[in-house]
Structure 1
Amino acid sequence: MTCSALILAGSRAGEADALAASEGVSHKALIELEGLPLLARVHAALTAAGMERIAVCASDPEVIALAERLGAVVTEPADGPSGSVARAFARLGAPMVVTTADHALLRPRWVRQFIEKTPPDADVAILLARRAAVEAAMPGSRRTWLRFADGEWSGCNLFHLATSRAEAAIESWAGVEADRKRPWRIAARLGYGTLWNYWRGRLTMQGAVARLGRQIGISAAVVSAADGLAAVDVDSMKDLADIRALVAERRAGAGL
């Protein structure tokens, strides 16, 4: 089955990107890692993973120009990531993988494994990494951890909208998006019984996502990342320095 991909490279309205400014570029997607802008690296990984059609959601003129040079479809941002995904999904349809332009370490095999591990009956899947895997892969990395009964998890900025029914999930994304750093509020959306189970340490991540899916009438699943680096993106100067050091170390180790 062919699959499309969307790279989110928009900007929050009214917010200056201090990280981009520190690197002398207009947008974080244009920060270079070993001579390539982050957007180009993500696009290359998705292409190598077999994505048939790749779209870039952007408003920055330089990012749009780069996307067009890469041969990507350019889509216009909406209010917030969820609206931007909905707009692109209406154009590209299912199945569609969603990621971000600052996913600097994205590997083709992660994307392929994610799609292969998505349950066949799932309308939507989310890639998450366990804390132990992330800390083993990148010691000292500062991530947002979601604590559930089956451990602590970090998002990997990879989503699989597997069927047309995923549209319902996009519509509910905005609310979950606002609570992404407060898992108890996500549990509260599922009712007092689920919130009580969360406080008692009985709610698993997979259980929470599956219940969220059932609440909106779809099947939703969690896929656990095999590589903890899948959760590492460029959110700060420290992230960028850590990623540059890791890439340089690997290149030196490979004798490149």
Structure 2
Amino acid sequence: MNGLIRVLVMAGSRPGPDPLLSGSGVATKALLPIAGRPMLAHVVAALRAASEVGPITILAQRSAELAAHPALAGFADLHFADSGQGISASLAAALPEGDAPVLVTTADNVLLTPAMIAEFLAGAEDSDVAVAMVEKRVLLAHYPESKRTWLKFRGGWWSGANLFRLRGRRVLPLLDFWGRIERDRKRGMKIVAAFGPALLLAVVLRLITIQQGVARAGLRFGLKAKIVPMTEPEACIDADKPADVELIESILAARP
């Protein structure tokens, strides 16, 4: 596995009822069937087909239930671990020793492909923290019906693509900070405000691009942080709502 990147897949459940699971007979979102197999199986298959990927660890509150599912049998170098309370704490506990990079994604990133993984990792080189994003015009040119959460910066509006590259344990201070604000993860301006009034003002007045904003935020923790713009619009379409699942299934049906 020398030279291959370790992967952490966040496959846990958030507190409260999930509208996707209502009437499905499935207890956890990662096992919700999409196009005939659990969403987690789609993600693992894409990761295993990527030439850059090494060991894969699935993090979930009920990891044994996921490990026992037949759709996940047969994948090489696939591991399961129980997650903690919250995304940041779970990631911090799962990071390997040292500063080797780790690729992080989520179980609902169903449209993930090896090409997306390659594009992201190539763009994430030489960073401590890298975040995949899709610009609004890229998405709406192909899927105008898709509803996403947008971060508004000079030069464009952006939505997250559920791909992250972290430079090992040197990012622990950032994860600790994120643990205090992750409840506001869908409220872009609250997240920006947490990094201080100067950055908030610059974003509100559209004085900086998202690349500049993320770089400034990283410097607060002594980290080189960057955005990796993704060229495939599907990169930011994850399975959050019933409408998302319908769109994802239509996209999967059209793929070769």
Q: Which residue of 2 aligns with 1:206?
A: 211
Identity across matched positions, percent: 36
Residue 113 of structure 2 is aligned to residue 145 of structure 1:
no
Query: Residue 150 and residue 197 in structure 1: after superposition, are their counterparts in 2 closer, same or farther (change >3 A)?
Result: same
Normalising by structure 2, report the TM-score. Answer: 0.89
Query: Residues 99 and 170 of structure 2 are in contact (CA less than 8 Å); yes or no, is this contact kept in structure 1?
Result: no
1:93, distance to aligned residue in structure 2 (A): 6.5
Query: Residues 7 and 104 of structure 2 are in contact (CA less than 8 Å); yes or no, is this contact kept in structure 1?
Result: yes
Q: Which residue of 2 aligns with 1:34?
A: 35
Counterpart selection for 2:66 from 49, 63, 66: 63
Q: Which residue of 1 aligns with 2:229?
A: 224
Kindly provide the CA deviation profile for residues 107-134 of structure 1, in whole angstroms up to 9, marking residues without a partner as x.
01111111111142x1110000001111
Secondary structure of the residue that 1:207 maps to in structure 2?
helix
- Stretches of structure 2 that go unaligned for 5 or more consecutive residues are none
Residue 60 of structure 2 is aligned to residue 81 of structure 1:
no
Coordinate RMSD, CA, aligned: 2.1
Quote the Cα distance in structure 2 between the aligned partners of 1:163 and 1:90.
Answer: 7
Which residues in structure 2 correspond to 1:9-24 (within 5 Å)? Answer: 9-13=11-15, 15-24=16-25
- Stretches of structure 1 that go unaligned for 5 or more consecutive residues are none
Which residues in structure 2 correspond to 1:106-117 (within 5 Å)? Answer: 106-117=112-123
Query: Residue 68 and residue 107 in structure 1: after superposition, are their counterparts in 2 closer, same or farther (change >3 A)?
Result: closer
Query: Residue 190 and residue 112 in structure 1: after superposition, are their counterparts in 2 closer, same or farther (change >3 A)?
Result: same
Larger deviation, residues 160-169 vs 72-81: 160-169
Query: Residues 125 and 222 of structure 1 are in contact (CA less than 8 Å); yes or no, is this contact kept in structure 2?
Result: yes
Kindly provide the CA deviation profile for residues 20-74 of structure 1, in whole angstroms up to 9, marking residues without a partner as x.
2333211121122232211111001111113110000012343232387345211
1:239, distance to aligned residue in structure 2 (A): 0.5
Quote the Cα distance in structure 2 between the aligned partners of 1:92 and 1:68.
Answer: 29
Across the two proteins, how many residue pairs are aligned to each other? 249
Query: Residues 30 and 37 of structure 1 are in contact (CA less than 8 Å); yes or no, is this contact kept in structure 2?
Result: yes
Query: Residue 16 and residue 92 in structure 1: after superposition, are their counterparts in 2 closer, same or farther (change >3 A)?
Result: farther
